């Protein structure tokens, strides 16, 4: 007899919440769904093994990491997209294949009481070198890109043509002169990446843990590159405002970030909602994908939390949080094709920079 359990594998716990609401909405699904929490680095080998064996792994997966997605999953046609668009679900064509489930951003977060927007105003400060009117900073906390694929993707994207234009404009503002091409670097992005890596003051192992300890870093004025959504884990919110509707505004009074940093304000990236070609319940997967892209399903999984954005443009961001379209103007935006084509050469360069060579 066929196993009728709908298995959903995901890197985000929002899927667990959405599944619970899905079970309540559809009585036939009650007791017949399973949420399987996954970590990207541990899950990728399992996906590859399933792909090579053309074997079952799940009915639905939600994953990140652009290079892995392109090479191991999309190019092999192992993971498929379903377009849930209708009158209430409006998804841009560029977000349909692969289908974007939820979009996130990573920004530079700090203790508002000790840092504030005046300290970090230009990205070149994070190389540690002083500019014309601003001082270099040496207190950035960053998760090692060798263990965090999104941080690796961010560094790769900094070498892209669009990022180089941003960096050149910020360079001129910071140093008071135009950037002159350096024969030691492929482009200005490579120069920034190396100098940034060499200047990182703290290497943290977990964005969540680092943000939870935000108040402990008042003395060093630590600036943490982490998901904006991680502020939900900051204990200022947990202890004081957990059961209120004020969590966004109250948390920001203790943990902040600057939306006007010259160069870029952070990184915008996606998690994709996909169906393995070996899924046993592909139609249930389609229904669930449609559900999490609806206002009801999205609210169940990620509603009310800053730093989460639906690919359904009919669903607004949290009140007070800029719209996704605005974040995309302010930040470096993940480009699957660029990351894929540049991955090998840029990662080799990053490895050398990390090794201090």
pLDDT digits (tens, 9 = 90+) for 46-68: 988 999 999 999 999 998 887 77
107/200 same-domain check: yes
Per-residue pLDDT at 252: 64
Task: Give yes or no: residues 24 and 94 share one domain.
Answer: yes
**Residue 299 forms part of a structural domain:** yes
Query: Is residue 344 included in any domain, yes or no?
Result: yes
Res. 242: pLDDT tops 70: no
State the Cα–Cα distance between residues 138 and 195, nearest whole angstrom.
11
**Three-state secondary structure string covering the chain:** CCCCCEEEEECCCHHHHHHHHHHHHCHHHCCCEEEEECCHHHHHHHHHHHHHHCCCCCCEEEECCHHHHHHHHHCCCCEECCCCCCCCCCECHHHECCEEEEEEEEEEEEECCCCCCCCCCEHHHHHCCCCCCCCCCCCEEEECCCCCHHHHHHHHHCCCHHHHHHHHHHHHHHHCCCCCCCCCCCCHHHHHHHHHHHHCCEEECCHHHHHHCHHHHCCCCCEEEEEHHHHHHCHHHHHHCCCCCCHHHHHHCCEECCCCCECCCEEEEEEEEEEECCCCCHHHHHHHHHHHCCHHHHHHHHCCCCCEEECECCCCCCCCCCCHHHHHHHCEECCHHHHHHHHHHHHHHHHHHHCCC
For the cut 50, the answer to whether the pLDDT of residue 334 exceeds it is: yes
Whether 329 maps to a domain, the answer reads no
- In a shared domain, residues 256 and 152: yes
Give yes or no for residue 355 having a pLDDT over 50.
yes
Query: 33 with 179, same domain?
Result: no
Residue 28 has pLDDT above 60, yes or no: yes
| Average pLDDT value for the chain | 91
Mean pLDDT of 276-302: 97
Same-domain check for residues 201 and 78? no
Describe the crossing of helices 188-199 and 149-157 by its angle, rounded to 10 degrees. Answer: 140
> Is the per-residue pLDDT at 212 higher than 60?
yes
Most confident of 236-245, 278-287, 315-324: 278-287
Q: Is residue 1 scored above 50 in pLDDT? A: no
Average pLDDT estimate for 345-352: 96
Residues of the chain with pLDDT > 90, as a percent, come to 70
Residue 153 belongs to domain spanning: 103-267+339-354
Name the band, by pLDDT with cuts 50, 70 and 90, for residue 4.
confident
User: Do 236 and 139 sit in the same domain of this protein?
Assistant: yes
One domain for residues 20 and 155? no
The answer as to whether 297 is a domain residue is yes
In the predicted structure, residue 154 carries a pLDDT above the cut 80: yes
Mean pLDDT of all residues in 21-43: 89
Which range, 2-6, 33-37, 122-126, is most confident? 122-126
Residue 249 has a pLDDT of 64
Q: Would you state the pLDDT for residue 3? A: 58
In a domain, 311, yes or no: yes
Q: Are residues 124 and 98 in the same domain?
A: no
Q: Do 113 and 243 fall into the same domain? A: yes
Statement to judge: residues 139 and 188 lie in one domain: yes
Same domain for 205 and 345, yes or no, is yes
pLDDT tens profile 65-124: 877 777 777 888 899 999 999 999 999 999 998 999 999 999 999 987 777 677 899 999
Flag whether pLDDT at 162 surpasses 90.
yes
Min mean pLDDT across 43-57, 116-130, 168-182, 229-243 is at 229-243
What pLDDT does residue 238 have? 64
Residues 212 and 345 in one domain: yes
pLDDT classification of 12: cutoffs 50, 70, 90? confident
202 lies in a domain? yes
Cα–Cα distances (Å) from 261 to 125, 166, 170, in that order, read: 10, 11, 9
| Number of domains forming the structure of the chain | 2
Residue 226's pLDDT band, with cuts at 50, 70 and 90, is: very high
Find the mean pLDDT for residues 210-214: 88
Residue 327 belongs to some domain of the structure? no
Percentage of the chain exceeding pLDDT 70? 93
Is residue 2 pLDDT above 60, yes or no? Answer: no
Q: Which of 67-76, 122-131, 275-284 has the lowest mean pLDDT?
A: 67-76
CATH number of the domain bearing residue 17: 3.40.190.10
Identify whether 331 is part of a domain.
Answer: no
Tell whether omega for the bond before 98 is within 30 degrees of 0, i.e. cis.
Answer: yes
In the predicted structure, residue 183 carries a pLDDT above the cut 50: yes
């Amino acid at each position: 007899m066929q196993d009728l359990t709908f298995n959903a594998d995901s890197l985000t716990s929002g899927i667990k919440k959405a599944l619970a609401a899905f079970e309540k909405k559809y009585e036939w699904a009650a007791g017949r769904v399973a949420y399987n929490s996954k970590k990207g680095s541990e899950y990728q080998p399992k996906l590859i093994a399933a792909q090579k064996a053309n074997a079952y792994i799940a009915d639905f997966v939600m994953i990140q990491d652009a290079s892995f997605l392109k090479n191991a999953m999309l190019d092999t046609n192992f993971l498929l997209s379903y377009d849930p668009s209708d009158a209430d679900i409006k998804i841009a064509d560029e977000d349909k294949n692969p289908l974007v489930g939820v979009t996130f951003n990573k920004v530079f977060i700090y203790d508002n009481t000790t840092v504030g927007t005046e300290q970090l105003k230009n990205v070149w400060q994070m190389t540690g070198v002083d500019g014309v009117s601003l001082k270099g900073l040496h207190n950035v906390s960053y998760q090692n890109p060798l263990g965090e694929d999104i941080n690796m993707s961010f560094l790769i994207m900094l070498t892209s043509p669009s990022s180089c234009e941003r960096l050149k404009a910020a360079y001129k503002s910071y140093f008071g002169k135009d950037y002159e091409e350096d024969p030691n670097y492929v482009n200005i992005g490579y120069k920034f990446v190396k100098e940034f890596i060499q200047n990182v003051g703290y290497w943290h192992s977990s964005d969540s843990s680092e943000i939870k300890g935000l108040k402990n870093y008042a003395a060093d004025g630590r600036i943490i590159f982490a998901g904006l959504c991680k502020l939900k884990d900051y204990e200022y919110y947990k202890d004081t405002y957990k059961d209120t509707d004020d969590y966004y505004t109250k948390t920001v009074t203790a943990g902040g970030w600057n939306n006007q940093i010259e160069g870029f304000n952070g990184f915008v990236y996606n998690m994709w909602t996909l169906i393995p070609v070996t899924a046993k319940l592909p139609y249930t997967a389609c229904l669930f994908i449609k559900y999490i892209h609806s206002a009801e399903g999205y609210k169940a999984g990620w509603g009310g939390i800053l730093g989460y954005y639906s690919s359904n443009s009919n669903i607004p961001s949290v009140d007070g949080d800029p719209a996704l379209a605005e974040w995309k103007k302010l930040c470096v935006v993940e480009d699957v094709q660029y990351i894929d084509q540049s991955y090998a050469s840029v990662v080799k360069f990053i490895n050398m920079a990390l090794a201090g060579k």
